[in-house]
A and B are shown apart, each in its own frame.
Chain A
């Protein structure tokens, strides 16, 4: 009996059933989703193991495959058939979606991603800002052999430092998109095609120029220059109402958003005193508290921001404590003004509760929340926000005064 069991175990537990060798695997680093008339155009950026491993120095480290399909899975299967490798999604870093797809709704993409158990939750979902996602994936950049991993590193590593980026993994996004009072934001990637001094050209036709630059961006020419013509960047936040794209925030607004989300990051605050003198500080500690009174349609936000002075062009004696307090007042006023402007933008322009006021009401005013939940989209723009800001400069740096 034991011998029979032993033989069966040896046969079944040897671990080589349906094996796929490493060289046969196509590690998908990024997926791009573009809306087309009859469905989706799916682009996969696949890592070329031979080039990465140094076996073939002439080959590019990545290659892209695209296919169309009425559903995402159909397109993915077509890509799988086109590729010489068995596509493997466990190393997927980034999913880039174009604006049209985002405007129609994130749910189909999230559903596709969640049902594939190979796809891990710590991926970044990005919106292609004024580009197709295919173009975003096809840009070759000098500092990383796998372009989309630069986006991933940019978002994942820098997120804890700069307040000008957000970080939302797959589960964070899923949690927000279909819940009333929890509208979400996503980083928006774009291609920086700023004309460089050494390769500036004056073409007559703009679209041809764009196409030419895209051709360069996706070729090795782009990575052979000190100042590449094209680079990937994240300068905007895509704002969603439910799962639909409704607008964007720029990088200044992103950091205001992060301050309201009570995230300890590095924020650059700057003021212009007497219309002439710039003063800036770096804030690194934030304590934001949101109190809701949905029955009275009121929201009270108390925001305490602490940081250090990083630049001062205003001729004042900083050795005197009260002068620092004056600067703090200026910063507080400016920040309050900016925060109110951003809140107004979310109430009037994008009409999305990205500060999760509804979520706060659900957590802390549960009974009142259920009275307003059904028509929260109409209530949010009418909320009366009161913002109190207290900026604290805890250090003025290594020097008190530069000028006499």
Chain B
């Protein structure tokens, strides 16, 4: 494995891409009709609280990786079982993301192409990038973040210059009732914001002298990521209306189909695909990387590249045999109770244990 270090800028863009990635594919908050953007805003605030919790947990454990935190807090035996649970969670997420991306590419760009071929190409590129380690992932993310911003600019110009933005589609606010909104806020809080738990595996790669800036940078990334997601959702709503946003599988792609810069770029929808694929790809790579090093931590004999390869081959060969809900399955396949347990329950428990341990440690130091 190559260099295992990323700088704060790379962490920032990785968090942003990670947040955009899932949201662009999964059509989160769709039950809230024209209040999607409100749901995302409120969830992001709650997500900020969760991020502070994750950071505190990591900070109390000297920015060690999740497997080390599990073992330190829960002991070797129980810790190993929890590592297995998290490794399974990461693997399931890899499967869902990879099949989502492959399906999206098949439906939009490669109509008629076999999903297996698309999945194979995707997995090869993911394995290739992961082989070079987190540093290569971080550096490429910095470059591709620029590409995403460049792809978004023509979309926004087109929407406002062609009169596509229809304010009427955004009102009335809170028309669907607070119950639906509350449910959606919780779902959106778990996905994509709760998924930031993955970054507990990455904080360890920030140089120690910069670790005090991790929280600040993560919050900035959360803010920018939320801003981009909200902007995209508002555009989707203003262009398509709430009914179409709810019913389309990839509303951002459909909204981009309406946008055009006549005389310069006639079709902007390929840019939507670029944005979704790039952000989804980095989310997938991060899950791959985190999943692999989580599995690797189970046994010192496990070699990184072989684990990586086995995971990729496993996903490729097992994917066709797994039954899943084909409509918006990225969100719906994993029960929310399990997601709550993994993203909220265990981290809170670990945080409490870590706080107690830290308190005892401080007290002991004071006595000495």
- The answer, yes or no, to whether B320 is at the interface (CB within 8 Å) is no
Cβ of A359 and Cβ of B168 under 8 Å apart? yes
Supplied contacts A1-B131, A17-B113, 7 more A-B pairs, CB within 8 Å: A5-B128, A17-B117, A171-B239, A171-B258, A362-B175, A363-B171, A363-B172
- The answer, yes or no, to whether A378 is at the interface (CB within 8 Å) is no
* CB interface residues, B 99-118, toward A, < 8 Å: 107-108, 111-113, 117
Given the known inter-chain contacts A8-B124, A117-B108, A359-B168, please indicate yes or no for A18 contacting B257, CB distance below 8 A: no
Cβ of B121 and Cβ of A12 under 8 Å apart? yes
Interface-lining segment among A74-82, A118-126, A301-309, A311-319:
A118-126
Closest Cβ–Cβ distance, residue B365 to chain A (whole Å): 48
- The answer, yes or no, to whether B243 is at the interface (CB within 8 Å) is yes
Cβ of B175 and Cβ of A121 under 8 Å apart? no
Docked CA distance A246–B239 (Å): 28
- The answer, yes or no, to whether A382 is at the interface (CB within 8 Å) is no
* CB interface residues, A 160-192, toward B, < 8 Å: 169, 171, 174-175, 178-179
- The answer, yes or no, to whether A364 is at the interface (CB within 8 Å) is yes
Q: List 10 A-B contacts (CB under 8 A).
A: A1-B131, A1-B305, A5-B124, A18-B112, A117-B108, A118-B111, A121-B257, A171-B241, A175-B240, A362-B175
Given the known inter-chain contacts A9-B124, A364-B172, please indicate yes or no for A121 contacting B254, CB distance below 8 A: yes
Chain B residues with CB under 8 A of A326: none
Contact indicator per residue, chain B 280-314, by CB within 8 Å of chain A (1) or not (0): 00000000000000000000000001000000000
Chain A residues with CB under 8 A of B240: 171, 175
- The answer, yes or no, to whether B127 is at the interface (CB within 8 Å) is yes
- The answer, yes or no, to whether B244 is at the interface (CB within 8 Å) is yes
Chain A residues with CB under 8 A of B260: 122
Given the known inter-chain contacts A18-B113, A118-B111, A362-B172, please indicate yes or no for A171 contacting B305, CB distance below 8 A: no
Closest Cβ–Cβ distance, residue B56 to chain A (whole Å): 40
Chain B residues with CB under 8 A of A364: 171-172
- The answer, yes or no, to whether A16 is at the interface (CB within 8 Å) is no
The chain A residue with its CB closest to the CB of B260 is A122
- The answer, yes or no, to whether A295 is at the interface (CB within 8 Å) is no
Docked CA distance A349–B244 (Å): 31
The chain B residue with its CB closest to the CB of A122 is B258
- The answer, yes or no, to whether A13 is at the interface (CB within 8 Å) is yes
- The answer, yes or no, to whether A366 is at the interface (CB within 8 Å) is yes
Given the known inter-chain contacts A5-B124, A9-B124, A366-B175, please indicate yes or no for A121 contacting B258, CB distance below 8 A: yes
Cβ of B254 and Cβ of A171 under 8 Å apart? yes
Chain B residues with CB under 8 A of A362: 172, 175
Contact indicator per residue, chain A 119-138, by CB within 8 Å of chain B (1) or not (0): 01110000000000000000
Docked CA distance A121–B128 (Å): 37
Cβ of B121 and Cβ of A5 under 8 Å apart? no
* CB interface residues, B 105-160, toward A, < 8 Å: 107-108, 111-113, 117, 120-121, 124-125, 127-128, 131
Q: Could you tell me the dominant secondary structure of chain B's interface residues?
A: helix
* CB interface residues, A 196-235, toward B, < 8 Å: none
Cβ of B124 and Cβ of A174 under 8 Å apart? no
Docked CA distance A103–B89 (Å): 52
Q: Which 9 pairs from chain A and chain B are nearest by CB?
A: A366-B172, A175-B241, A363-B171, A121-B257, A12-B121, A366-B175, A363-B168, A5-B128, A117-B107
Docked CA distance A169–B241 (Å): 13
Binding site for A on B (CB under 8 A): 107-108, 111-113, 117, 120-121, 124-125, 127-128, 131, 168, 171-172, 175, 239-241, 243-244, 254, 257-258, 260, 305
Docked CA distance A30–B239 (Å): 25
Chain B residues with CB under 8 A of A175: 240-241, 243-244
Chain B residues with CB under 8 A of A363: 168, 171-172
Docked CA distance A117–B112 (Å): 11
Give the one of A117, A175, A366 with max B CB within 10 A: A117
Docked CA distance A12–B124 (Å): 10
The chain B residue with its CB closest to the CB of A12 is B121
Chain B residues with CB under 8 A of A179: 243
Chain B residues with CB under 8 A of A359: 168
Chain B residues with CB under 8 A of A13: 121
Docked CA distance A179–B246 (Å): 14
Docked CA distance A237–B121 (Å): 49
Closest Cβ–Cβ distance, residue B118 to chain A (whole Å): 10
Closest Cβ–Cβ distance, residue B235 to chain A (whole Å): 14
Docked CA distance A5–B120 (Å): 11
Chain B residues with CB under 8 A of A5: 124, 127-128
Cβ of A12 and Cβ of B120 under 8 Å apart? yes
Closest Cβ–Cβ distance, residue A171 to chain B (whole Å): 6
Docked CA distance A121–B241 (Å): 14
Chain A residues with CB under 8 A of B168: 359, 363
The chain B residue with its CB closest to the CB of A116 is B111
Docked CA distance A359–B34 (Å): 14
Contact indicator per residue, chain A 1-40, by CB within 8 Å of chain B (1) or not (0): 1000100110011000110000000000000000000000
Chain A residues with CB under 8 A of B258: 121-122, 169, 171
Docked CA distance A178–B244 (Å): 11
Give the one of A5, A8, A17, A171 with max B CB within 10 A: A171
Chain A residues with CB under 8 A of B113: 17-18
The chain A residue with its CB closest to the CB of B253 is A117
Chain A residues with CB under 8 A of B244: 171, 174-175
* CB interface residues, A 344-365, toward B, < 8 Å: 359, 362-364
The chain B residue with its CB closest to the CB of A20 is B112
The chain A residue with its CB closest to the CB of B34 is A363
Given the known inter-chain contacts A1-B305, A174-B244, A363-B171, please indicate yes or no for A117 contacting B117, CB distance below 8 A: no
Docked CA distance A117–B120 (Å): 23
Docked CA distance A68–B112 (Å): 24
Contact indicator per residue, chain A 362-377, by CB within 8 Å of chain B (1) or not (0): 1110100000000000
Docked CA distance A344–B168 (Å): 26
Docked CA distance A8–B124 (Å): 8
Closest Cβ–Cβ distance, residue A21 to chain B (whole Å): 15
Docked CA distance A220–B241 (Å): 45
Cβ of B108 and Cβ of A12 under 8 Å apart? no
* CB interface residues, A 90-146, toward B, < 8 Å: 117-118, 120-122
Chain B residues with CB under 8 A of A8: 124
Chain A residues with CB under 8 A of B175: 362, 366
Docked CA distance A362–B117 (Å): 47
